[in-house]
Amino acid sequence: MKRHRVPKQELGSQEFVTLFDFASTTVINIYNREFHLTSCNHFTQNFFEANGLNLEFESIIPEDKYMSQRALSESKMNRGAASPMTTSSYNEILDNKSEDTYRVESSIATLTTAQKRDMREKFLKYANKVLRFYAQWDDRSSMFGQKLEYIINYFLQDDKIEVLEVKQQNSGRDPFPKLVKKQRVPRVFRGVPSVGSKEEDFEDEYISDKDLIVGNTIEIFGRDMFLYDCDSFTREYYLHQYGVEQPANQVEPETHVEFPSMPLPPYNGFGSEHDSLASYFNLIPKPRKYDRTKQAALDSIIFR
């Protein structure tokens, strides 16, 4: 309801609600809704006393389920840092409205701010900074499996991981840019979490930057990714942050497979040697192509 003069609800009355309607009563009617008076601030109390008006308030206040549920959720988020505040204690603080009130309100705000401070600090410190690892997924043990190359990006500002597939020329595969979009990745995938669960409940089960070491194998949703290399920024980050020097490139050389080739058959004496090779390369021999350039250049030259 916006600020305006409220008319009284008596039939045929043209008067409006005034300060005298709040005195000596605990219920006031505004637009056919009964509002129960429970408390007021010090200025209002002093103003009514100075004008000789008596204020009355209801002693029994029903519990506000919203405030109780909100206080309970805040206490869970703060992990026991503050006990849940009931409606009665909240109303007592409003009645007093002293320095303790502002101290409690500021402490609640500080707890809420402290919970988000870690993520804000990481955002300001590591915004747009990404650890890049090069990985391989060897699936050749399964039918039609291949050894595929991937790029794993670890975003420092929110600890999320992105897995990109490296496109190889003439690989016969459709260009599928992302294997895993940017998200928190668990160390061991145990299925989709239940409805209502939060990411904070599984904080210790997600992959962190301490798990990404060149030469190790990590699991990405059931796929064993072998980390064989990383970029220069990633090496500097681990060296300054943890004092760990990432190993050099761990790519194992591929074994060279020599496929057997059919040797050329010897000349059989029929026709020219080119005719014999033409019958070897094609089931139906093709005639030799006519070289017009050579014919024009050597047409006037005759051996005698």
Region 73-96 average pLDDT: 59
Tokens of 6: 């409220």
pLDDT digits 0-9 by tens, 120-136: 888 888 888 999 999 99
- Distance, in Å, from the CA atom of 145 to the CA atom of 139, rounded to the nearest integer, reads 5
Exposure class string for 205-226: b at 16+ Cβ within 10 A, else e: ebbeeeebbbeeebebeebebb
Three-state DSSP at 258 gives: coil
| 83 residue type, one letter | S
- Distance, in Å, from the CA atom of 287 to the CA atom of 267, rounded to the nearest integer, reads 18
Task: Categorize the per-residue pLDDT at 71 as very low, low, confident or very high, splitting at 50, 70 and 90.
Answer: confident
Question: How many other β-carbons are positioned within 10 Å of the β-carbon of residue 239?
Answer: 12
H or E segment and range at residue 3: none
In degrees, rounded to 5, the angle at the alpha carbon of residue 208 between the alpha carbons of residues 202 and 210 is 135
Three-state DSSP at 172 gives: coil
- Distance, in Å, from the CA atom of 128 to the CA atom of 116, rounded to the nearest integer, reads 19
pLDDT computed for residue 115 by the predictor:
47
Question: Residue 95 pLDDT more than 70?
Answer: no
| 130 residue type, one letter | V
pLDDT computed for residue 102 by the predictor:
46
pLDDT computed for residue 89 by the predictor:
56
Question: Residue 235 pLDDT more than 90?
Answer: yes
DSSP for residue 202: G
- 68 Cβ partners below 8 Å, 6+ apart? 84, 86, 87
pLDDT digits 0-9 by tens, 148-182: 999 999 999 989 999 999 988 888 888 788 899 99
The phi, psi pair for 207, rounded to 5°, reads: -70, 130
pLDDT computed for residue 145 by the predictor:
87
